[in-house]
Amino acid sequence: MATTNLSDYNKNNIPNANKFRFGIVVSEWNPDITENLFKGAKETLEHHGVLSSNITRVNVPGSFELIYGCKKLVKSNHFDALIAIGNVIQGETKHFDFVCSGVTQGIKDLNILFDTPIIFCVLTDNTKQQSIDRSGGKLGNKGVECAIAAIKMAALR
C-alpha cells in the first residue's frame, strides 16, 4: 500500500510546460477509475501551463489496448510525452497477471523503441477500493503524479 499521497509534489521543481504537447490514452474499462485518473492528469497539465489544445485524448477498450493506442500516437511524432491510463483489478483467474505483465512490457518496449516518453499510469490493484483510493481518494490521484512525470520527461527529451 502506498504510504504517501500520490498528488503531493513540490510545484517549484516543475519545468515550464506551456510549449509541450501531450497525448493521453485512456482505457474505457473501469471508467469510474480511469476518468478520475484522466481528470487528475489533465488538470495538472493545465495547471502547469499546458494549453488544452495541446492535450490529445484517445480512448481504447481496455488496458491491454493501451499499447496499440500509444504506438499510434508515438508514431505521429506530434507529442512531447504520452500518458497511458488504465486500471486492472485482481480477479479470480490469472487474467490479471497476463494483462498486467503484457501492458507493462508493451509500454516498456515502446519507451525503448521510440524517442517519446510514455508514462505508465495503470493502476494494478488487488481491490476496487485500492483503485478508488489511488484515483482521487484518500491516497491522492496517480493521474497527478503521472502528469508531473510526463512534464519532467518532456523537458528531458
Query: Which segments of 9-138 does DSSP mark as H helices, in order?
Result: 31-47, 66-75, 95-113, 128-134
**CATH code, residues 40-156:** 3.40.50.960
pLDDT of residue 6: 65
pLDDT one digit per residue (tens) for the chain, 157 residues: 344 676 888 888 899 999 999 999 999 999 999 999 999 999 999 999 999 999 999 999 999 999 999 999 999 999 999 999 999 999 888 888 899 999 999 999 999 999 999 999 999 999 999 999 999 999 999 999 999 999 999 999 8
Helices (H) and strands (E) in the chain, counts: 5, 6
- Give how far Cα 114 sits from Cα of 4, 54, 73, Å: 32, 20, 11
How far is it, in rounded angstroms, from Cα 30 to Cα 142?
A: 15
Closest CA to 85 of 138, 154, 149: 149
Closest CA to 132 of 55, 33, 9: 33
Residues marked active site are found at 95
CB-based contacts of 139, cutoff 8 Å, min separation 6:
2, 4, 5, 6, 133
How far is it, in rounded angstroms, from Cα 154 to Cα 80?
A: 5
